[in-house]
Copies of this chain bind each other. A is one copy, B any other.
Amino acid sequence: MPLLAEVNEAELGPFVLASVLLSLIVIYLAAKLGGELCARVNLPSVLGELVGGVIVGVSALNLVVFPEGAEPVHSALMDFLQLTAHLEPDALLAIFKSQSEVISVLAEIGVVILLFEIGLESDLKELIRVGPQAAVVAIVGVVVPFVAGTVGLIAFFNVATIPAIFAGAALTATSIGITAKVLAELQTLSSREGQIIIGAAVLDDVLGIIVLAVVASLAKTGEIEITNVIFLIIGAAVFLVGSILIGRLLSPFFVMVVDQMQTRGQVLISSLIFAFVLSYIAAAIQLEAILGAFAAGLILAETTKRKELEEQISPIADMLVPVFFVTVGAHTDISVLNPLNPDNREGLIIASFLVIVAIIGKVITGFTVFGQEDINRLAIGVGMIPRGEVGLVFAGVGAASGVLSESLDAAIIVMVIFTTFVAPPLLRVVFNQDDDSDSGANAEPSQAMAQASTD
């Protein structure tokens, strides 16, 4: 019955749009309520967006949920759609899947836009200048938590080698999105500390991709696919260096073309084409799209179009970035935190060990920064703490591969939750302490992203 199928699909179309609009309404309400509450008690608003996401997500209201696991997921949003639009269960499931797919991609485009904006507000010369320090921070921040976590789990908790390596790997991640957003809110993105954190977080993202590839192949086949790892490392190096070199060569040509254009949105659309091309290349060579977007932002920041572009990208970021943070919160199942559930206790004990390693392992990285006097070393270490969505990816791959026990999987999730939610307020504290010292003098106000800062 191909004709019938066609009618059905055409008939479902408006409902997919309706359910996406409904999801966006819920996401925006959660983001704004959470963000405003946090702003009022002097916390970064991104924390509010994460907490708002937890409340509307799988942990509480079940409004923003994703049918990706094996078990059927209950969506209160779909109940509401059913109530208002009267649909058959089959149609409802198809709509639910399409809606989740669209919201997931919108969230991913959101973080692509966020990294593009962060790149635009960063200073390539400063990043290159602090490059060696950022590299040391990134490498120490990967090696120390990985070794301490893996060895500790084997020694103190009798965990087998492969799951211990997996958990150790999850400890290496840094969520560049969360850190960058908090730095922007605190107007410290362009400070020396801010640029070291951003540089280290970008390198950490690359290292994280390599670590994940290694442990995933280890979990699947018990062996490490050396060629794949070498390919990833070379790809990442060539991409980061190559895109910036070629991009800088081509950017005068870009400005010339844009100046010739007469139709509406010429700067914005040309820049998005550029950013999406680099994002696509990064994704195609198995890096992450956000790395391409960041590189594109860095390159365009050096052109005469920077200011105009910052103004135009700002409302787009306002529209799409909250989708990312709220869905990160919505994906997080905080029921593993409940100590009253006896099943959780073993996980919580392991988790407290992982949390300590996760925090200490990153905080010490700040003290490895060399050749910089009067720098806020604590702020750099704290900036590397949040695991965020990167940690959730590790937990998800680990759960799916079957190598992690339930309690170890829960412990990783608790570690991710804790580091993600504790980092934004901590960052505000450690940067505020720094207000008198002279390193704050480097910080030029990051005008486009500064509204949230209330102090």
Contact = CB atoms under 8 A, between A and B. Distances in A.
A223 B288 CA distance: 55
A160 interface: no
B98 A101 contact: yes
A264 B452 contact: yes
B16 A101 contact: yes
Contacts of A85: 284
Interface in A27-56: 28-29, 31-32, 35-36, 39-40, 45, 48
A17 interface: yes
Contacts of A28: 269, 272-273, 276
A268 interface: yes
Interface class of chain A by DSSP: helix
Nearest to A399: B6
Contact of A265 (B70, B109, B318): B318
Interface in A396-455: 396-397, 400-402, 449, 451-452, 454
A82 to B, nearest CB: 11
A155 interface: no
A16 B101 CA distance: 9
Given A269-B31, A451-B262, A277 B25 contact: yes
Given A32-B261, A263-B45, A315-B316, A283 B21 contact: yes
A105 interface: yes
Interface in A261-309: 261-266, 268-270, 272-273, 276-277, 279-280, 283-284, 288-289
B454 A35 contact: no
Contact of A272 (B7, B24, B112, B454): B24
A221 interface: no
Nearest to A15: B283
A361 interface: no
A335 interface: no
- Scoring A14, A270, A319, A451 by chain B CB atoms within 10 A of each residue's CB, the highest score goes to A319
Given A17-B109, A284-B85, A315-B315, A70 B6 contact: yes
Interface in A100-120: 101-102, 104-105, 108-109, 112
Contacts of A13: 104, 108
Contact of A2 (B5, B70, B273): B70
A78 B6 CA distance: 22
Contact of A32 (B112, B266, B280, B283): B266
A90 interface: no
Interface in A298-339: 312-316, 318-319, 322
A69 interface: yes
A180 interface: no
A388 B84 CA distance: 29
Interface of A: 2-3, 5-7, 9-10, 13-18, 20-22, 24-25, 28-29, 31-32, 35-36, 39-40, 45, 48, 68-70, 84-85, 98, 101-102, 104-105, 108-109, 112, 261-266, 268-270, 272-273, 276-277, 279-280, 283-284, 288-289, 312-316, 318-319, 322, 396-397, 400-402, 449, 451-452, 454
Given A6-B68, A9-B68, A20-B109, 19 more contacts: A2-B69, A3-B400, A6-B69, A6-B400, A7-B401, A14-B289, A20-B105, A21-B280, A22-B276, A28-B269, A32-B261, A36-B263, A45-B263, A48-B263, A262-B452, A265-B318, A265-B322, A314-B315, A315-B315
8 contacts: A3-B400, A10-B400, A14-B289, A22-B276, A24-B276, A36-B262, A84-B284, A262-B454
